[in-house]
A and B are shown apart, each in its own frame.
Chain A
């Protein structure tokens, strides 16, 4: 069985060259296996640096005291959950337009991590809200949009898991991701309209940041760590999905036998 990423006719003539050849699951599987540990290591280093700055260098906030230190995971997690949804939508669009199976696999591999970050942002937001607002949950615009984003993630994951035919699951999930991505700004705007009682965004490009530079550095380091972690986990998840999808092909058989032999050699 040949593995083609473009139309079968063209792939038979000449396989794609350069970076494009990694769009073939067969090529991407080993690449992902090689890259993932590096991204994980980078994530660990960045998180260590970010946490060190966050806990031992950044001073106490003169208004909120120590509890503000939740920001070093809250804001990166909230950013990450939004970025991941956009990246999912991007790969879904690529998959629908270019008809590449790997794009769909990538967007499905990202979804659980995005949902996890979304939940982390909500959880830390609630714990941060209790001492600062006096309640675990207020129907603040950003918390509410975050909650709706979590529901969008649940919908995507549920839909792609419920459809048994992988081809249909891929495409239906992609359409849903795009519909969701179009709606995210509308949801955000409407929720803000609904409740204009919210704090100004804590970091915005337009105006000078209202937080100390060192706090910002810690937060950005943690945000980078979240990126690296997401990439590593997504790559690992892509590997499992590729094996599952390509189980009927020769190359998966060869890979599995080789892995079993390597594992047997250690034992």
Chain B
């Protein structure tokens, strides 16, 4: 069981490492989007400080959305996905491994880069751990929910825009609690409630999303 998970995880990480230019594009997109905001709303420090959590969260959300189409596309094209579905291994297991690899290569860089970008917005130093933690808990949920959408739209014409339409409304609670955690910390009420809810959301998504994703893949490959 565990060996299947680890084998798929290692394989996907290795493949991502070979195509690491793609990963840098996701990260660069995140950085550029964040840096656009001061040009749009003005560089007034108080205002920047106020919008920082929301801007960082929305940018992280868009960056992980943009990377989603890569999750299954290559394996779909070269037939690996079909082989995996035909194999006797439980689908939920390797789906989870693929999502984990996807998050490690696209989500984790965003989590690491976010505190540095927050400094550009002069976010309070004490809020940086909260921001990092909220992203660390929230971006895996985005990857899990997004994987279901990516499986549903696999190989469908106009799939990219469709995927955004399917997934973005489902991302709203994550955005609310993620950005809300940082805001609550800045407001002095403490971010514990939001972070706990994000953790609960992550547990729920871990339990349900791989299963939904596996059945969506089966439907797509029939």
Contacts and interface: CB of A to CB of B under 8 A. Distances in A.
Interface of A: 148, 151-152, 154-155, 158-159, 162-163, 167-168, 171-172, 175-176, 178-180, 182-183, 186-187, 189-191, 193-194
A12 B208 CA distance: 37
Interface string B70-88: 0000000000000000000
Contacts of A182: 208
* Interface magnitude class on chain B: 20 to 34
B219 A171 contact: yes
Interface string B162-186: 1001101110110011001000000
Contacts of A168: 219-220, 222
A188 to B, nearest CB: 9
Interface stretch (B37-45, B121-129, B130-138, B151-159): B151-159
Nearest to A149: B169
A193 B176 contact: yes
Interface string B195-222: 0000001000000100010011001101
20 contacts: A151-B165, A159-B152, A159-B156, A162-B153, A162-B157, A162-B162, A163-B156, A172-B152, A175-B212, A176-B166, A178-B212, A179-B170, A183-B170, A186-B173, A186-B201, A187-B172, A190-B177, A191-B173, A193-B176, A194-B180
Interface of B: 148, 152-153, 156-159, 162, 165-166, 168-170, 172-173, 176-177, 180, 201, 208, 212, 215-216, 219-220, 222
A180 B172 contact: no
Contact of B169 (A148, A163, A189): A148
Contacts of A186: 173, 201
